[in-house]
Amino acid sequence: MEDMTDKPNLLGWTCPRPLQHYPTIVMGHGAGGKMMADLIEHLFAPAFDNEWLSQMGDSTALELPAGKTAFTTDSFVVSPLFFPGGNIGELAVYGTVNDLAMRGAKPLYLSAGFILEEGLPMETLGNIVTAMAAACKKAGVKIATGDTKVVQKGHGDGIYINTSGLGVIPAGVDIGPANARPGDVVLVSGTMGDHGIAIMSVREGLTFETEIQSDTAPLNGLVEAMLANAMDGHRSPSHKSKKQGGHAPFGDLSAGPPLPTIHCLRDATRGGLAAVLNELAGSSKVGIEFDERKVPIRPEVNAACEMLGLDPLYIANEGKLVAILPEEMAGNVLAAMRRHEYGKEAAIIGGVVSEHPGLVTAKTSIGGMRVVDVPAGELLPRIC
């Protein structure tokens, strides 16, 4: 296993006595018998403790609030399991939380499906589960249902995690990849490429003066702040005062015509900023133009990219989003982003045009113009 086995201890999981019989995962932990029950009772249940998981049925019964439901799934196969700034457990929670948030949904419940490789140290699993529990708390979600399978040594890579997520989309919010319109503004929430380069620097054994950390983070709070400020410019104070308690900042938007709101949100994961902009240009049948010099990139990420022959626009992020929205609300939204913990370095990088639909172009640092194409295949395998 390539996981940095010196790191998991930092998370401080202490193996409870009934699990001390098993220094590593064995096949029986996935066989539906007493060993699996031990794992659930002494590891998963205490970490993810909540009323939904404790129903312990084949499925969990939930009461979802009114509104459209957002549903998503993601499997996590990142290698190494622990990396500067994060680990597979946090990634599995935040990745799915972010996929829900990119619809404007409030994330509520996750599932957790574990595929464990025989021989995985119990301590590694304990620390990953501890990290997931902390991440759930930070993002305000609950793990409502789970599953564990074990595969023989040599048929996995320590641990793979699938999380699926459920969230509720407030009335009036309609965010989707086909909604970009010419005249819209394109924003990013911060520096690009941190996560992919953090993973690569571990794999390649690169060291820099400043360690490059993954940006893994839950973006639902940032999106909530953006939506609140996207709407503010379009509602009279008297109308705002009609908000229902408990549903702020979204209020009751069911009456009247749809309000202008954020058009597209996308977290810039696999394929990075370039992949996201191409997807949005393609889905919305518009052109996108941006200025490379306006894209925030850490100097050490730039340096690493030069050394590795990589383009930072194609490198994955795990705590950054791309937003496309009407120009008139851009100032408000940008200010709200910069006030938020995960948007301090937010920037307007370009705009949407009716020319060259489906195509993304960039003004280069030397003042020229280039087409920013979709990445073909593999850039950095298994970064999430």
**Contacting a second copy within 364-383 (CB under 8 A):** 374-382
Q: Please say which residue, 1 or 259, places its beta carbon nearer to a second copy.
A: 1
SS3 321: strand
Q: Identify which range of 3-11, 147-155, 303-311, 360-368 contacts a second copy by CB under 8 A.
A: 147-155
Phi/psi of residue 281, nearest 5 degrees: -60, -40
Q: Provide the b/e sequence for 331-363 (b: ≥16 CB within 10 Å).
A: ebbbebbeebebbebbbbbbbbbeeeeebbbbb
Number of Cβ within a 10 Å radius of residue 247: 17
Q: Residue 120 CB, nearest distance to a second copy (Å)?
A: 13
Rounded-to-integer distance, Cα 38 and Cα 344, Å: 44
Residue position matching structure tokens 């489906």:
358
277 binds a second copy (CB under 8 A): no
Q: Provide the b/e sequence for 151-177 (b: ≥16 CB within 10 Å).
A: eeeeebbbbbbbbbbbbbbbbbbebeb
Q: Identify which range of 111-119, 126-134, 348-356, 361-369 contacts a second copy by CB under 8 A.
A: 111-119
Site for a second copy in 81-110 (CB under 8 A): 98-100, 102-103, 105, 109
Q: Identify which range of 7-15, 165-173, 221-229, 347-355 contacts a second copy by CB under 8 A.
A: 165-173
Q: Residue 30 CB, nearest distance to a second copy (Å)?
A: 7
37 binds a second copy (CB under 8 A): yes
28 binds a second copy (CB under 8 A): yes
Distance of CA 7 to the CA centre of its chain: 22
Q: Identify which range of 82-90, 138-146, 208-216, 298-306 contacts a second copy by CB under 8 A.
A: 138-146
DSSP 148-167: EEEE-TTSSSSEEEEEEEEE
The number of residues that bind a second copy (CB under 8 A) is 82
Q: Residue 210 CB, nearest distance to a second copy (Å)?
A: 27
Q: Residue 383 CB, nearest distance to a second copy (Å)?
A: 9
Looking at 11, 19, 43, 77, which residue binds a second copy (CB under 8 A)?
77
